[in-house]
């Protein structure tokens, strides 16, 4: 199963409530925010640095410079700026939230979870923080904790498709395929245009043994993404389980047309050909896969091919 996770990166630059500036500093700060919103992050950083030089005791320019640093993927400097903003004013949830994102990107998952928790303690209805913390728990394979956070997000925002989707992934991680399918259904009811939702529902249906229903979902994904090999591979495997070998053969051939170096497709197309009593074709595919580096193909060649 492919994991489709996308966090809520709340990185909009803003004037945090309660922060105060002199008029000239405020105008300069707003210029930096405008530059950042236009994507000129380096220019924005220079402007925020100028504001800090004028008054190093205001947290807002540090916070916004941290956002700009995170936008250019300099998360170490982003964390440093978010920490400065927190040190100057510790009662705002946004710096904790964004520092949590940067910590997660740098692999500090425990620190990220702690910061999301602090943001939530200040803003108990922080839906994005619950979802993001759930994603961190998911990455740590703490699926139950992840599901609990996604459930909290849904209590606050019942129609949140991403929360349903991510909770479905957490249930999948716990092998609770029926619960996963139910959540993927809800995600699709609230957002019917996201192919990932169909892909994951198809994977859950296949894992639960509902191969024909899974195929219908994979076909939706293929319609949206005709050159994506993963739904083709997943649908082909479901066809194999249903013993529809011609359909599986067609799908594996399609994958090979898209990606001629896909060893998995050659191996499984060879298996499919063997079921169709085409031993010569099967051995030919396994030789191709072996040349790409497939150990499974080597084993098949040794066992079935002269």
With a cut of 50, say whether residue 53 has pLDDT above it.
Answer: yes
With a cut of 80, say whether residue 12 has pLDDT above it.
Answer: no
Q: Among the residues of the chain, which ranges form H helices?
A: 23-37, 41-54, 59-71, 75-88, 93-105, 109-122, 127-139, 143-156, 161-173, 177-190, 195-207, 211-224, 229-241, 245-258, 263-275, 279-292, 295-304
With a cut of 70, say whether residue 9 has pLDDT above it.
Answer: no
Lowest-confidence range among 6-15, 114-123, 142-151, 254-263?
6-15
Angle between helix 279-292 and helix 295-304 axes, rounded to 10 deg:
150
**According to the model, what pLDDT value does residue 13 have?**
46
**According to the model, what pLDDT value does residue 4 have?**
34
> What is the average pLDDT across 243-249?
98
**According to the model, what pLDDT value does residue 270 have?**
98
With a cut of 80, say whether residue 105 has pLDDT above it.
Answer: yes
With a cut of 90, say whether residue 16 has pLDDT above it.
Answer: no
| Greater pLDDT, 218 or 17 | 218
**According to the model, what pLDDT value does residue 15 have?**
47
CB neighbour burial string for 179-208, b if at least 16 within 10 angstroms, e if fewer = bbbbbbebbbebbeebbbbbbbbbbbbbeb
> What is the average pLDDT across 287-298?
97
Nearest C-alpha neighbor of 121 from the set 92, 150, 146, 147: 92
With a cut of 80, say whether residue 179 has pLDDT above it.
Answer: yes
Q: What single-letter DSSP state applies at residue 58?
A: -
Q: What is the pTM of this model?
A: 0.87
With a cut of 50, say whether residue 1 has pLDDT above it.
Answer: no
With a cut of 50, say whether residue 7 has pLDDT above it.
Answer: no
């Amino acid at each position: 199963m492919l994991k489709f996770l996308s966090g809520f990166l709340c990185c909009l630059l803003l004037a945090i409530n309660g922060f105060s500036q002199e008029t000239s500093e405020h105008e300069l700060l707003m210029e930096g925010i405008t530059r950042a919103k236009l994507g000129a992050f380096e220019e924005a950083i220079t402007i925020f640095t100028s504001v800090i030089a004028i008054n190093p005791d205001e947290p807002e320019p540090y916070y916004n410079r941290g956002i700009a640093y995170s936008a250019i993927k300099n998360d170490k400097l982003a964390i440093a700026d978010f920490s400065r903003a927190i040190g100057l004013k510790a009662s705002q949830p946004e710096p904790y939230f964004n520092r949590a994102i940067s910590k997660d990107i740098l692999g500090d998952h425990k620190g990220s979870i702690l910061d999301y928790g602090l943001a939530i303690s200040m803003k108990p209805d922080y839906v994005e923080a619950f979802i993001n913390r759930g994603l961190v728990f998911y990455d740590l394979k703490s699926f139950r904790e992840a599901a609990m956070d996604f459930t909290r997000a849904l209590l606050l925002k019942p129609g949140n498709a991403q929360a349903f989707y991510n909770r479905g992934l957490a249930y999948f991680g716990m092998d609770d395929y029926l619960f996963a399918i139910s959540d993927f259904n809800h995600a699709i009811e609230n957002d019917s245009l996201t192919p990932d939702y169909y892909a994951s529902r198809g994977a859950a249906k296949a894992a639960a043994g509902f191969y024909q229903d899974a195929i219908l979902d994979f076909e939706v994904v293929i319609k949206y993404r005709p050159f994506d090999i993963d739904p083709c591979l997943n649908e082909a495997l479901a066809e194999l389980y249903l013993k529809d070998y011609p359909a599986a053969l067609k799908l594996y051939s399609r994958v090979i047309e898209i990606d001629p170096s896909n060893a998995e497709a050659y191996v499984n197309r060879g298996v499919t050909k063997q079921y169709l009593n085409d031993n010569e074709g099967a051995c030919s595919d396994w030789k191709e896969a072996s040349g790409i580096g497939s150990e499974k193909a080597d084993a098949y060649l040794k066992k079935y091919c002269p």
